[in-house]
């Protein structure tokens, strides 16, 4: 499988292509990948890398999975896409049924969109329309916590961490939101009123302007890979109810088993008013996201002016994406994925804990199929990326964080190679 028909033109890539968060003037090297299967990415030169990233949380069942491939091929033969205005189709209805069944009972309405950021935009618009329709149009701002990440479009960006999200650069173009301290109670710690004091006082002071609190439940992902206590969410739900503010959970990174529960909210047993899913929804095959809402939220939005929810992407509920998402969710239901995540959690803990003894390591933490080694200072990306590739693994750190979130299908011996590579690379960086 290693020889592709057309060699990848790296010079053209270097002079014309923008990669995520990169300079085009002084680009870091990119590695040409020609195919991917199981837990492997195969480079053009034939090297096989064990994938530690699941392509940013998405490829929970690995690559080139026969069941997911077949779902796509079967759907391509019927139709790849039709508009969703005035039409509907089986893949959208089947997937919506699965999402409604899988998520908490009160989340009954499903809005499909094309990416996580758009699902967050949709959630924010729902919250604002909800209060406008409730006769409280002053409630249009968001409250969130620092160290969050919710996507790269403008409204999503406005609720990302103001420092890592470079809000100063976009001042004037970006809505100013309210920021409380990030949750300080660690996952296994109790959460005290002290931990909630800042967000509580913000709600108390500004609730007349706040439409919703938006937060990543349990795991703050791209904003710092921090894990916090489920009880924080229980108290946050109570505070939102008390101050008449909606609660939005962004489960785009955590959804579909990553933290050991189907959704991170299952650790806390509480239900938001609006919830976003994406990333692993299609098993990493297609770009698709969804925003779920309660009947109450939907009914109030649709009883206000103009009586409609104001959003409708061209590729809404794309049938190919819905078909593969549906197959991915069925696949998840067809085996004991919890046991797989428990096994990965144990392997990550065993393999990464020795990093604690290295002088450049500030913290090692593991939750579900997420393993994080936090360093004291940022890594030299170009150097460590090459070291990982030379060791036969694909790991892409950011800043001070070297982290793993392998596909659920990864076997023990591959995970050992992956964690050993992390240990060796971090040790060399001392
Ligand atoms: C990745 C991510 C997003 C944005 O999703 P995109 O598909 O990249 O637009 C939003 N929220 C969270 C928590 C994410 O991890």
Cα dihedral 40→42→43→46 (10° resolution): 130
Same domain, 91 and 195: yes
Which atom from ligand 1 is nearest to the alpha carbon of 118?
A: 9
2 part of a folded domain? no
Q: What is the CATH number of the domain that holds 228?
A: 3.40.640.10
Same domain, 384 and 235: no
CA 121 to centroid of ligand 1, rounded, Å: 11
Given ligand 1 and candidates 60, 116, 219, which is best to mutate, with the most ligand atoms within 8 Å of its CB?
116
5 part of a folded domain? no
Domain end marker among 276, 309, 332? 332
Given ligand 1 and candidates 151, 225, 272, which is best to mutate, with the most ligand atoms within 8 Å of its CB?
151
Q: What is the CATH number of the domain that holds 410?
A: 3.90.1150.10
Which atom from ligand 1 is nearest to the alpha carbon of 151?
A: 4
CA 291 to centroid of ligand 1, rounded, Å: 12
CA 409 to centroid of ligand 1, rounded, Å: 23
Neighbours of 240 (CB within 10 A): 23
Q: How many structural domains does the chain have?
A: 2
| Number of residues assigned to the chain | 430
Same domain, 251 and 359: no
Neighbours of 243 (CB within 10 A): 18
* Pocket-forming residues, ligand 1, beta carbon under 6 Å: 115-117, 120, 149-151, 216, 221-222, 250, 252-253, 278-279
3 part of a folded domain? no
CA 116 to centroid of ligand 1, rounded, Å: 4
Domain end marker among 314, 332, 350? 332
What is the pLDDT, as a whole number, of residue 53?
98
CA 117 to centroid of ligand 1, rounded, Å: 6
Structural contact between residues 341 and 408, judged by C-beta atoms closer than 8 angstroms:
yes
CA–CA distance, 214 with 294 (Å, rounded to integer): 16
Which atom from ligand 1 is nearest to the alpha carbon of 222?
A: 15
206 part of a folded domain? yes
Peptide bond into 306 cis (omega under 30): yes
- What Cα–Cα distance (Å) separates residue 106 from each residue in 135, 253, 270, 271, 293? 24, 21, 11, 8, 8
Given ligand 1 and candidates 20, 58, 117, 147, which is best to mutate, with the most ligand atoms within 8 Å of its CB?
117
CA–CA distance, 265 with 278 (Å, rounded to integer): 15
Q: What is the DSSP string of 333-375?
A: HTTTHHHHHHHHHHHHHHHHGGGGGSTTEEEEEEETTEEEEEE
172 part of a folded domain? yes
CA 236 to centroid of ligand 1, rounded, Å: 22
Same domain, 196 and 109: yes
327 three-state secondary structure: helix
Which atom from ligand 1 is nearest to the alpha carbon of 279?
A: 7
What is the pLDDT, as a whole number, of residue 5?
66
Same domain, 328 and 341: no
Q: Whose CA is nearest to atom 11 of ligand 1?
A: 150
196 part of a folded domain? yes
Q: List pLDDT tens digits, range 15-27.
A: 999 999 999 998 9
Same domain, 295 and 365: no
Same domain, 315 and 420: no
Given ligand 1 and candidates 222, 256, 405, which is best to mutate, with the most ligand atoms within 8 Å of its CB?
222
Same domain, 80 and 119: yes
222 part of a folded domain? yes
Same domain, 54 and 158: no
CA 129 to centroid of ligand 1, rounded, Å: 22
Q: List pLDDT tens digits, range 247-265.
A: 999 999 999 999 999 999 9
Which atom from ligand 1 is nearest to the alpha carbon of 115?
A: 7
Same domain, 147 and 268: yes
pLDDT 10s per residue in the chain (430 long)? 445 568 999 999 999 999 999 999 989 999 999 999 999 999 999 999 999 999 999 999 999 999 999 999 999 999 999 999 999 999 999 999 999 999 999 999 999 999 999 999 999 999 999 999 999 999 999 999 999 999 999 999 999 999 999 999 999 999 999 999 999 999 999 899 999 999 999 999 999 999 999 999 999 999 999 999 999 999 999 999 999 999 999 999 999 999 999 999 999 999 999 999 999 999 999 999 999 999 999 999 999 999 999 999 999 999 999 999 999 999 999 999 999 999 999 999 999 999 999 999 999 999 999 999 999 999 999 899 999 999 999 999 999 999 999 999 999 999 999 999 999 999 999 9
Beta bridge partners of 144: 179
Same domain, 91 and 206: yes
Same domain, 121 and 262: yes
Domain end marker among 332, 356, 391? 332
What is the pLDDT, as a whole number, of residue 198?
98
Report the catalytic residues: 21, 149, 250, 279
Q: Whose CA is nearest to atom 6 of ligand 1?
A: 116
Which atom from ligand 1 is nearest to the alpha carbon of 253?
A: 15
Structural domain span for residue 182: 69-332
CA–CA distance, 378 with 237 (Å, rounded to integer): 35
Q: List pLDDT tens digits, range 323-367.
A: 999 999 999 999 999 999 999 999 999 999 999 999 999 999 999
4 part of a folded domain? no
């Amino acid at each position: 499988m290693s020889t592709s028909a057309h060699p990848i033109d790296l010079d053209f890539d270097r002079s014309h292509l923008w990669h995520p968060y990169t300079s085009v003037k002084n680009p870091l090297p990119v590695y040409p990948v020609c195919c991917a299967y199981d837990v492997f990415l195969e480079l053009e030169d034939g090297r096989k890398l064990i994938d530690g990233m699941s392509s940013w949380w998405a490829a929970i069942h690995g690559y080139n999975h026969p069941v997911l491939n077949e779902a796509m091929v079967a759907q391509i033969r019927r139709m790849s896409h039709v508009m969703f205005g005035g039409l509907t189709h089986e893949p959208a209805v089947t997937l919506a049924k699965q999402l409604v069944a899988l998520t908490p009972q009160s989340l009954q309405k499903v809005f499909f969109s094309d990416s996580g950021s758009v699902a967050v935009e949709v959630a924010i618009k729902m919250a604002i329309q909800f209060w406008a329709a409730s006769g409280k149009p002053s409630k249009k701002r968001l409250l969130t916590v620092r160290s969050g990440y919710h996507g790269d479009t403008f409204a999503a960006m406005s609720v990302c961490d103001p420092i890592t999200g470079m809000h100063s650069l976009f001042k004037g173009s970006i809505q100013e939101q309210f920021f409380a301290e990030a949750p300080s109670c660690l996952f296994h710690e109790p959460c005290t009123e002290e931990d909630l004091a800042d967000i509580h006082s913000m709600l108390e002071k500004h609730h007349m302007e706040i439409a919703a609190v938006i937060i990543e439940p349990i795991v703050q992902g791209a904003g710092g890979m921090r894990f916090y206590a489920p009880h924080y969410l229980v108290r946050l739900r109570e505070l939102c109810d008390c101050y008449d503010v909606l609660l939005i959970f962004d489960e785009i990174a955590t959804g579909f088993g990553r933290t050991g529960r189907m959704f991170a909210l299952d650790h806390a047993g509480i239900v938001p008013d609006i919830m976003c899913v994406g990333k692993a929804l299609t098993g990493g095959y297609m770009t698709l996201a969804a925003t779920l809402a309660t009947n109450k939220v939907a009914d109030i939005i649709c009883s206000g002016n103009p009586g409609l929810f104001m959003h409708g992407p061209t590729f809404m509920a794309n049938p190919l994406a819905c078909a593969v998402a549906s197959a991915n969710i069925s696949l998840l239901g067809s085996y004991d994925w919890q046991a797989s995540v428990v096994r990965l959690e144990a392997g990550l803990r065993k393999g990464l804990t020795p990093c604690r003894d290295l002088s450049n390591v500030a913290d090692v933490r593991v939750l579900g199929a997420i393993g994080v080694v936090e360093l004291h200072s940022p890594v030299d990306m170009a150097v460590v990326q090459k070291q990982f590739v030379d060791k036969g693994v694909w790991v892409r750190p950011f800043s001070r964080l070297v982290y793993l979130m392998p596909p659920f299908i990864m076997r023990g011996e591959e995970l050992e190679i992956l964690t050993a590579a992390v240990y060796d690379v971090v040790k060399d960086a001392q």
